[in-house]
Structures are given as structure tokens and as C-alpha cells.
Structure 1
Amino acid sequence: MTNPTPLRPWASLFRMAVAAGALFALSGCASVFLVDNQVQSYARWADRPTPTGAAPTIPQAPQVFGFDRLPSQQDSRSGAGQDELERLAAIALAKVGWTPAAAGVTAPWTVEVSGGTLRLPRAPWESPYDGYWGGGFGPGFGFPGRDYIVTGTGQIIYAPLFLRMETPYYKREVSVVIRHAASGRVVYETRAAHDGRWNSSNALWSAMLDAALSNFPTPPAGLRQVNIEVPR
């Protein structure tokens, strides 16, 4: 019987990389991913006028509101996306005791919600001219990309011997602005910003809205980080 042909070093490494990637993917199936948000909120309830001239108080739940849209949000091209964003915002606001007013009911508050995404070809700290072996290690043949792939659910699969592909990086932000309906005064404004590899999903936007409404209606001053765990 002839001796088996020994595996070439690159073949062994390839099999190890594939096995490690598969193990990583399987181990992450039942886990969560972290949506880390930079949040800044401004409460101006004291600026709200009262009919009697008495000092205004912070409204306690439950409260009802109506959504208000900017002209750009009423455009037919963005209408469907705005409908979905407002639906998710209504769920987040319900968690703090604020619900949409019934048809025909004049709500004392209006809520304006907006969101945006900036898609980058790679993370800000990544170079398009990393070496072929990844991370600056090895001779570096000038091929663009990286030695891993991030799936849509955030799983990282390493394949250091493949020609690496660019993985998009996203910067996202949501904002919620609450106005006193009778006067039009802004009484609450909050924003949440998050960046990372995750593809757009309702779970991601919901986590950002929950973060934006953390500590509502009396948020701390200054920029703060709010982490939300989302099941994969």
C-alpha cells in the first residue's frame, strides 16, 4: 500500500480556517449581538406654557401623541420607510407609557422621528491596502480587503488564505423630537448613533430607538453610552 500524499501546508491551514469559521457560526446561533449607542437627550419641559401660568410639570405616563412629518418624510419615495420607522417608534414609546392617540382625538403632543444610514466601503480604521495575509502580517502583496467575512447576522468567518473581500461598514442615527402640540415648542429631543457591520433590520432600529428613549422623560446631561442586547 502506498503512503498517502502529505497535505500541503496551505491546504491544512485552509481546512483549519473553515473548521474554525463553522464552529464560530454554530456557537453564535443562540447568542445575542450588542448594539452600542451614543445617546444625547435634551429635556425642555419647563419651556412649555400652561393655561393658568403655573409652573409646568414633567408629564407622567400615560400620555397620547400624534406623529408629525417633515415635508421630506411625506414624499412618496420615503413614505413606506417612514411608516415602518414610526411603527417601531410607537412600540418604543409604548414602553415608556406614550401611545398614539385614537382617530379623532386631539393629542397634546406631537412626535417627529427620523433615521438615516451612511454606508462606507470599510470600517474607518481599515486600510484598503492591507497585506494579503491580513492585519499587516506577512509580506503584503497589496490586495485590497480583509481576511474575514462578516455575515448579515454579525458572525465573523475567517478565511486568511482567500482573496479578501470588502465588508461594508454602516453609520446610523435615529432622532425623536417631541413638541407641545398647542404651542409647537420642542420639549424633548433625543438622538442615538450606532455604527458597525450589522445589516439593516427592524431589531437593530428598535434597539436604537429604545436607547434613544432611555431615561425618558428626565435624561442625564451630556453624551452617554447605552448598550442594548438583541437576540440573533
Structure 2
Amino acid sequence: MNIHRSIRTLQRLGLAAAVLVLSGCASVYLVDNQVQSFARWADQPGVKPGTPVTVPQAPQIYRFDRLPSQKEGRVSTGQDELENLTAQALAKVGWTLAAAGTASPWTVQVDANTLRLPRAPWDDPWGGYWGGYWGPGFGYGLPGRDYVVTGQGQVIWMPMYPRMMMESPYYQRELSLVIRHASSGKVVYETRAAHDGRWNSTPGLWSAMLDAALRDFPAPPEGVRQVNVEVPR
């Protein structure tokens, strides 16, 4: 009896441990990013060739700059959301958005895009590329739908595929952040992050990509690197 009771106790403990492990895994998800950054702080007015590069140290202030395509209608609403998340990410590295009407030495331009595929490339039963659509701008996906509304107000819909093939969409996302010297317009910092996966678009996912893009700022290593960020569910 004691042996059987001990076995049952061990089984219950094992089950409890498994539940804890599974619940711990389910509390976060991983956003793995391919990041490449370029620092050109020497490309500032008045800096002579051969002069040691002075990397600006925090705190710094900046203002956002937009392309003409990012300023109109619903596009600007999506850009507002993206810039709000970018401001939060930049605040973590000591860069603060300048108050309205205040001059700033730097400008920041941010852009994001999403390619929605009906399924992951390796899930294609025909061994070919199914084709998807780039959604310019920034937007959040709508779960359970066959389309996504981007920050530019564009509805991306693929009715040519049977719904059974639309049950597991796959997303390829990219974002870029460019910092310029405000008075000269010269680019002094550029960074890009790319992430592929099935996760639906959320502020947490985009924040993770922004944090990854700003990893090692303002003096990043050369080349492409992988930056993983865990996001609470």
C-alpha cells in the first residue's frame, strides 16, 4: 500500500510540475528578430574627417518626421500609434520627444510593413509560393478574419483561397527607424528589424520589434544579428 501510495504521489507531483512548466511557457511568447543597424554619427555638420566620433549620450530630445504618404487620412492615425510605441521604446534609451514648438537636434522617422500569407511557406502543399500582399503602414490584425486593416486604411483580402487554407495565416513584418541631424537632414543612425511568425498584430509585438531594433543603441555591432524579445501574453 505504501509503495502504491508513493507512486500515486509521484505521479501527482509530476503532473503538477508539467502544468507549471506549461503555464510558464504559455505566459510569454518569443518575438525573434533579425536586426541590422548603421551608426554614422560622424556625418554631422562641422565634424571634420578623421575627427574621433562623438556618440551622443542620453538624454537627448527629438521630434518625429513623416513622409508625405504618412500624413494623410487614416494613414496618419496608424502612424500616430506607431510613433507612440516608438516614443516609448526611445524613452528606454534616454531619448525624449520634444514638446510641441520646441527645437530639437534630431528627427526620427519610423515605418512599418506587414506581408500576410495564407500560411507559412513550408506549409504549402504544392511546394510553391502562394503569394500574399504587403500591407504598407502600420495596423493591427483582426483575429478570425480573412483580411487585415493596415494603418493606411487598406483592406488586404484574399478571397481566391478556400477558407480551409486560411486557417493559419503567416506574417512577415519589417520596421525601420532613421535618425537624422535636424539642421542638415543627414542620416546619422539607421536600424531595421524583421520578424516572421504566426502571431497576430498587437502593440506588444510591435514594441518588441522596436526594442530589438534599438538594441545596442547608439553604438551597435556591425552586421545582421538575431535579437529575441519575450512578450507577455
Equivalent residue letter for 2:176: S
Distance 1:59 1:205 in 2: 26
Counterparts of 1:84 and 1:28, CA distance in 2: 30
Summarize the alignment of residues 30-45 of structure 1 with structure 2, pairs less than 5 Å apart. 31-45=27-41
Q: Is the aligned partner of 1:117 residue 2:117?
A: no
Tell me the number of residue pairs that the alignment of Structure 1 and Structure 2 aligns: 178
List aligned pairs for 1:41-120, cutoff 5 A. Answer: 41-50=37-46, 56-120=53-117
Return the letter of the residue paired with 1:194: H
Listed as ranges, the gaps of 5+ residues in structure 1 are 1-22, 131-151, 153-162
For residues 135-150 of structure 1, the aligned pairs below 5 Å read: none
Deviation at 1:128, TM superposition (A): 3.4
Distance across 1 between alignment mates of 2:24 and 2:126: 30
Counterpart of 2:115, as a letter, is L
Query: For residues 216 and 48 of structure 2, what CA distance do their matches in structure 1 show?
Result: 29
Give me the identity figure in percent: 69
Output the CA distance in 2 between the equivalents of 1:171 and 1:41.
19
Equivalent in the alignment of 1:185: 186
Q: Residue type of the partner of 1:35?
A: V
Question: C-alpha distance in 1, partners of 2:30/2:197?
Answer: 10
TM-score, structure 1 length as denominator?
0.71
Aligned-pair CA distance for 1:75: 1.9
Contact 2:118 2:166 in 1 (8 A): no
Distance 1:217 1:124 in 2: 35
* RMSD between superposed Cα atoms in Å: 2.5
Q: What is the CA–CA distance in structure 2 between the aligned matches of 1:164 and 1:60, rounded to whole Å?
A: 50
Displacement of 1:31 in angstroms is 1.5
Task: Give the letter aligned to residue 119 of structure 2.
Answer: R
Would the aligned equivalents of 1:110 and 1:178 in 2 still touch at CA under 8 Å?
A: yes
Indicate conservation of the 8 Å contact 1:122/1:167, yes or no: yes
Structure 1 residue 203 corresponds to structure 2 residue 197? no
Task: State the shift of 1:77 in Å.
Answer: 2.6
* Change beyond 3 A, Cα 1:62–1:166: same
In structure 2, relative to structure 1, the CA distance for the partners of 1:180 and 1:27 (3 Å cut) is same
**Alignment TM-score, normalising by the size of structure 2:** 0.71
Q: Between Structure 1 and Structure 2, whose CA radius of gyration is higher? A: 1
